Structure 1
Amino acid sequence: MAKNEEEVKNTPFGFGTSNDAYAKYFTGKSYLNPLATKANCNIANVNFEPGCINKWHEHTVPQILVCVAGEGWVQEEGKPAHKMTPGDVYIVSPNTRHWHGAAKDSWFSHLSIMADTYKAKTTWYEDVAPDYYNNLK
């Protein structure tokens, strides 16, 4: 069993199902458990296998990431990558290019919270450079 797999698969927020609808925006396998999708707010538990990250992207509304289990990374363009461990909260401002996902040796679970989703749009960009990601410590 990979590092933190049991913790990620057994959070109180549920593991979810294969994130097939967004698979083209991820390097590796992710799982999605929507928790709230009404009332102009979207909350989802997103689970990443070790080494799974999403592409650079930006949202037109703020995104709040709350690490639930495991170890992962978030990075805004022009800033160093920030390691996330359980309990960490990271707020990404609107229209800020960023990426997030699991550490290469650990499962990772985070809540993704986005308000004002009736106005929200996401623009996807290129993959994170593999050499850069593989050298994160």
Structure 2
Amino acid sequence: MKTIKQAGLWIVFPLCLFSCTQDSKISQNVKTEDAVVFAKGKRVTNDNFSGTVYLQPLIESDSLNQNNVGNVTFEPGARSKWHAHPAGQILLVTSGVGYYQEKGNQKIILRKGDVIKCPPNIPHWHGASADTAFCQVAITGREKGPTVWLEAVSDSVYLAGAK
């Protein structure tokens, strides 16, 4: 009887080991960055950005809700021009590494899970870091007017240190 139980362990143990090994291989192949929250959207073709940027509109403002909501994906090195929102803006970082800077302040590094509240009428810019793509959900108030686009962000400002 004892040898039957021991023989059973020799069958069960390799099966458990194989199963654990397979689970480990599966989890190693799944990258958290591959789990996209929203679609990438279409490439932005206007001159309000430097580099390659994609926009997927999620909600258009209307008479009931004066906010536009969009998923914005910046390829490495891409960024917006300086701009301001008369009703403010909220940024929800969903992946990657990016930057945000208000005029007169040092740029800050943004990572997945960070939230930025852009005050009304404060010039700022945001975009991807030089070597990592960046994705954000932008919630932009429209009740006080459209975004005011300003000058491009110079390379010296973009490359300056961050806090």
- TM-score surpassing 0.5? yes
Task: Note the 1:73-112 alignment, pairs <5 A.
Answer: 73-112=99-138
List gaps (5 residues or longer) in structure 1.
1-5
Q: Report runs of 4+ in structure 1 exceeding 3 Å deviation.
A: 6-10
User: What does residue 8 of structure 2 align with?
Assistant: none
List gaps (5 residues or longer) in structure 2.
1-30
CA contact (8 A) 2:58 2:71 kept: yes
Distance 1:107 1:26 in 2: 14
Post-superposition shift, 1:121?
1.9
User: What does residue 144 of structure 2 align with?
Assistant: 119
Does 2:46 align with 1:29? no
CA contact (8 A) 1:60 1:95 kept: yes
- Which has the larger helix fraction? 2
CA contact (8 A) 1:44 1:113 kept: yes
Distance 1:27 1:119 in 2: 26
- Which has the larger strand fraction? 1
User: What does residue 57 of structure 1 align with?
Assistant: 83
CA contact (8 A) 2:92 2:113 kept: yes
Post-superposition shift, 1:7?
6.0
Higher relative contact order (CA 8 A, sep 6+): 1
Post-superposition shift, 1:136?
3.6
Distance 2:47 2:74 in 1: 14
CA contact (8 A) 2:77 2:128 kept: yes
With the length of structure 2 as denominator, give the TM-score of the two structures. 0.73
Q: 1:7 to 1:124 in 2, by over 3 A?
A: farther
Give per-residue Cα distances to partners, 1:43-70, cap 9 Å, x unaligned. Answer: 1000001000011111101100111000
Give per-residue Cα distances to partners, 1:85-131, cap 9 Å, x unaligned. Answer: 0000000100000000000101000000023x243222111111212
Equivalent residue of 1:24, what SS? coil
The RMSD of aligned alpha carbons is 1.7
